[in-house]
């Protein structure tokens, strides 16, 4: 047996153990990227092999949390992919304006940049007091960071550019206060956001959403897990609701594809049909 094959077995055993002990299910994550991140984590640990680290991982929650941080990729940015946010403004908002109240689920929201972007966009489009955003992630530590809404000041230049390219209607600097090397987002942006831990691989759906954003999350999942998660979204969305994926993700060839129409080619926004076809 080669060393590589042995590592694959160790990872499988470890992921089974993690699932049994902590309930986090990484068994259906795409192998290559999971292995890459786990190997990176192992290099930074004091253990030579996954087998040697396993005992501590399964017995010590704090040590497991370091592994969890290593497994989940939490990078995000405000108004990430400006053409996407522009399309939301131009093509989705007119539909949402016809509802008295709008419910949005951001699944896999990481440190919250995307969530605050949507809150800003909705405020600018006149939804004040007429929306609620449920922002969830598997990683409780990033949820805590998302709740704080504090980002490195050096990021603001890039975020401002994204905001402008996405059709922002005001001045981005109105949405934060600079303090030392941090930017603190205006606290009222949080008024309509509920942050919570939620595991797409294990937990149930949320009902009656008008829009679901799950961007750059499913790229890490195997096909079966993608279908599970898309099933959750399909159950959660009202007819006529919008499902938004990342630029490298698509509904094509997925089980629920026939329930949706693509809003605009290459911008992964899909609208659920009123009747199942």
Ligand X SMILES: C[S@@+](CC[C@H](N)C(=O)[O-])C[C@H]1O[C@@H](n2cnc3c(N)ncnc32)[C@H](O)[C@@H]1O
Taking the complex as a whole, the smallest distance from the CB of residue 73 to ligand X amounts, in Å, to 5
Question: Contact between 216 and ligand X (CB under 6 A)?
Answer: yes
- In the chain, what are the helix, strand and coil shares in percent, each to the nearest 5? 50, 20, 30
Contact 33, 39 (CB under 8 A): no
Residues in contact with 61: Cβ distance below 8 Å, sequence separation at least 6, in sequence order? 22
Binding mask 175-204 for ligand X (x = CB under 6 A): ------------------------xxx---
Question: Contact between 74 and ligand X (CB under 6 A)?
Answer: yes
**Residue 92 per-residue DSSP state:** I
Question: Contact between 93 and ligand X (CB under 6 A)?
Answer: no
Question: Which residues inside 129-148 make contact with ligand X, applying CB under 6 A?
Answer: 137-139, 142
Question: Contact between 80 and ligand X (CB under 6 A)?
Answer: yes
Question: Contact between 215 and ligand X (CB under 6 A)?
Answer: yes
Question: Contact between 108 and ligand X (CB under 6 A)?
Answer: yes
Sequence-ordered strand ranges (E) for the chain:
102-107, 131-137, 150-152, 176-179, 182-185, 193-197, 209-214, 237-245, 260-264, 267-272
Q: How many residues bind ligand X (CB under 6 A)?
A: 21
Contact 270, 262 (CB under 8 A): yes
Question: Contact between 149 and ligand X (CB under 6 A)?
Answer: no
Contacting positions for ligand X (CB under 6 A): 72-76, 80, 108-110, 114, 137-139, 142, 199-201, 215-217, 246
């Amino acid at each position: 047996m080669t060393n590589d094959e042995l590592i694959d077995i160790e990872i499988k055993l470890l992921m089974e153990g993690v699932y049994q002990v902590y309930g986090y299910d990484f068994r259906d994550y795409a192998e290559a990227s999971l292995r890459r991140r786990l190997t990176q984590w192992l290099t930074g640990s004091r253990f030579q092999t996954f087998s040697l680290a396993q005992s501590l991982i399964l017995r010590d929650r704090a040590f497991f949390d370091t592994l969890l941080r290593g497994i989940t990729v939490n990078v995000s940015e405000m108004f990430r992919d400006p053409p996407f946010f522009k399309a939301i403004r131009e093509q989705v908002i007119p539909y949402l304006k016809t509802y008295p109240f709008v419910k949005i689920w951001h699944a896999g929201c990481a440190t919250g940049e995307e969530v605050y972007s949507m809150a800003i966009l909705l405020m600018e489009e006149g939804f004040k007091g007429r929306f609620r955003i449920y922002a969830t992630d598997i990683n409780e530590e990033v949820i805590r960071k998302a709740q704080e809404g504090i980002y490195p000041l050096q990021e603001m230049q890039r975020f401002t550019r994204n905001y402008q390219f996405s059709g922002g209607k005001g001045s981005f600097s109105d949405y934060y206060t600079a303090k030392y090397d941090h930017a603190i987002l205006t606290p009222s942006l949080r008024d309509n956001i509920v942050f919570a831990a939620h595991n797409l691989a294990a937990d149930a759906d949320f009902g009656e959403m008008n829009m679901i954003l799950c961007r750059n999350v499913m790229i890490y999942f195997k096909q079966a897990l993608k279908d599970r998660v898309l099933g959750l979204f399909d159950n959660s969305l009202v007819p006529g609701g919008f499902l938004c994926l990342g630029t490298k993700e698509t509904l094509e060839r997925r089980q629920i594809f026939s329930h949706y129409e693509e809003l605009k080619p290459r911008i992964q926004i899909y609208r659920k049909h009123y009747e199942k076809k």
